[in-house]
Amino acid sequence: MNTDFSLLIPEFILAGVGFFILAVDMLLPKSWEQRRNGVTASSAALGLAIVFVVALVREWNEVEVRFLYDQLIFVDRYSLLFKALFTATGFAVVLMSVDYVGRKMRHPGEYYSMIVFAVLGAVLMSESGELLTAFISVELLAFSLYVLVGLSRGDGRSAEASTKYILLGAISTGIMLYGISLLYGALGTTVFTEMRPGLGRGFDLTLTLGFVLFVSGLGFKLSMVPFHMWVPDVYEGAPTPITALIAVMSKAAAVALLLRFLAEAGLSSIDDWRMPIALLAAATMVVGSVTAMVQHNIKRLLAYSSIAQVGFVLIGVVTLSIDGANAVLLHLVGYAFTNLAAFAVVIAVESRTGKEEISDYAGLATRSPLMAMVMTGALFSLAGLPIFAGFVTKFFLFTAATAEGLLWLATIAVVSSVISLYYYLRIVREMYINEPSDNSPLTVPVLTKATLWLLFAGTVAVGVYPGPWVDAIDAATTALGPLV
């Protein structure tokens, strides 16, 4: 049994940073009250940046041991890639939060430490190679998010969102746990790789039920239709940077876990579950795209659009080919840049004007050309138009799906992208064509400006030259067991 703790150094750092922020927040002298936000934010940012660097520089090239404690935790390039993605996402969210928290929130310490713990949970989800470890990681992420969603004290919507999230989350946890127990009962193991032969044996009610319940529990975290009902309310009520964190990181972590589970354990029974999940993917895309059309709140709109995006990701997941897995990872990377860019604008607008209706974006192009440009780029990327990330990543997803004989699914996907273009153009129209009610320019701090430029550049970089990204992703997915 391998117990080389040094492989877990990044996780120890993350946990340490989380507690460090809590301690600093508690011990900070009264005279430093003004700097509380800055101090806690910079510790969080620094900690995440260190882990990012460690993950990429130290470990990427010298991974020999693939797992720890008899496959409880995998430290391979697949999890390293997600570690880098999650820490980078967390870093970006911290950057976006500084201005927002300074204006709207009272407890920066808890806020930033919970973000770090959420990142830790997400990282562990991508690393876990066994059902119970996966479950604990899922819960670590979920509990951090429950707290974060309800942290806007004094805002009724935040409290409501948090309550809904906790209640529905608890149900999904129960479902998932029941599924795990059934799987364990039928197979006598919780380790993914050891489950493969048992799952491929053919129909067995206990086994099938366990599989379905486990995937459903994950589907809740993933906001897969029909488990998506919580998404709009939570997105709307949560502090906006946390909405971004849920939209990008929590989804990606669930995908990471699902993909590893299906590749390591579910591969042998692929013919049984491919079609049901493909149908759910189609439903997710269509429901997300169509429902988004009637939204007036930008956060709700992005919520539905993120549901649609999950549908796209599931297309890649059901192919379970190397190309499909690559496409999923690339889509997650491109989607992270894109969605963070969109949310960065929403956060900046909200913390300057306090408004979040789509009609409040009227004339944004004259009030802040940079924000309007970044938002337009992000929306076009979500709609899958060149030169932005969405075009290339969707192209890969659809190519992979078609190669596995799922042309019908790809067709539904392209059609729902056109539907989504309709409501993205509505926002573009508000920003560029409609006249603002208030003509004063919106100025944003340099930090926000830099974040916006960075995310925009990332969206374009994935869109025009995905080569280097795909090389890294290719190395990651080859670690992922024998794909189709």
Partner 1 sequence: VDYLERHILETLIYLPMLAGLVLVFVPREQLMLVRWIGIGTSLLLLAGSIFVFAAFDYGEGAEVFQMVRVYPWLEQVGTGAREALSAGAAPEDVGIAFRLGVDGIAAPMVLLTGIVSLAGAVVAANIEKENKNYYILLFLLIAGVYGTFVSTDLFFFFFFYELAIVPMYLLIGVWGSSSTFKTFARPKEYGALKLVLMIVAGSVLVWVVILAVFVEAGSTTFDILALGEAARAQENGAFSNLFQGVMFVLVMIGFGLLAGLWPFHTWSPDGHVAAPTSVSMLHAGVLMKLGAFGIIRVGMMVLPQGMQDLALVLFILGTINVIYGAVSALAQNDLKYVIGYSSVSHMGYVLMGIATMEAVGVTGATLQMFSHGIMTALLFTIVGGIYERTHTRDTLVLNGLASRMGWGASAFMIAALASIGLPGLSGFMAEVMVFIGAFRTEPVLGAIGVFGALITAVYMLRLVARAFFGERDSQWDNLKDLSPREFIASAVLIVPIFFVGIYPVPFLNVIGPGVDAILTGMGR
Q: Which residues bind partner 1 (CB under 8 A)?
A: 321-323, 326, 369, 376, 380, 385-387, 391, 395-396, 398-399, 402-403, 407, 410-411, 414-415, 417-418, 421-422, 425, 428-429, 432-433, 465-467, 470-471, 474
Nearer to partner 1, 279 or 433 (CB): 433
What whole-number distance in Å separates Cα of residue 1 and Cα of residue 18? 29
Nearer to partner 1, 42 or 399 (CB): 399
What whole-number distance in Å separates Cα of residue 462 and Cα of residue 458? 6
Q: For residue 141, which amino acid is it?
A: L
Nearer to partner 1, 163 or 399 (CB): 399
Could you tell me the smallest distance in angstroms from the CB atom of residue 392 to partner 1? 8
Cβ pair 300, 363 in contact under 8 A? no
What whole-number distance in Å separates Cα of residue 176 and Cα of residue 210? 8
Could you tell me the smallest distance in angstroms from the CB atom of residue 399 to partner 1? 6
What whole-number distance in Å separates Cα of residue 321 and Cα of residue 406? 12
Helix (H, G, I), strand (E, B) or coil at 191: strand
Helix segments in 128-204, DSSP class H: 131-149, 156-187, 192-199
Nearer to partner 1, 50 or 464 (CB): 464
Nearer to partner 1, 152 or 477 (CB): 477
Three-state SS string over 259-303 comes to: HHHHHHCHHHHHHHHHHHHHHHHHHHHHHHHHHHCCCCEHHHHHH
Could you tell me the smallest distance in angstroms from the CB atom of residue 415 to partner 1? 6
Q: Please give the DSSP secondary-structure letter assigned to residue 130.
A: B
DSSP one-letter string for 398-459: HHHHHHTT-HHHHHHHHHHHHHHHHHHHHHHHHHHTSPPSS-------HHHHHHHHHHHHHH
In whole angstroms, how far apart are CA 417 and each of 243, 292, 420? 22, 12, 5
Nearer to partner 1, 116 or 444 (CB): 444
Nearer to partner 1, 49 or 472 (CB): 472
Burial of 117 (0-12, 13-18, 19+ CB in 10 A): buried
Cβ pair 147, 212 in contact under 8 A? no
Could you tell me the smallest distance in angstroms from the CB atom of residue 467 to partner 1? 5
Could you tell me the smallest distance in angstroms from the CB atom of residue 362 to partner 1? 13
Could you tell me the smallest distance in angstroms from the CB atom of residue 386 to partner 1? 5
Could you tell me the smallest distance in angstroms from the CB atom of residue 398 to partner 1? 5
Nearer to partner 1, 93 or 282 (CB): 282
Q: How much is the CA Rg of the chain, to the nearest whole Å?
A: 21
Could you tell me the smallest distance in angstroms from the CB atom of residue 419 to partner 1? 10
Beta bridge partners of 357: 297
What whole-number distance in Å separates Cα of residue 383 and Cα of residue 77? 30
Nearer to partner 1, 88 or 410 (CB): 410
Could you tell me the smallest distance in angstroms from the CB atom of residue 47 to partner 1? 34
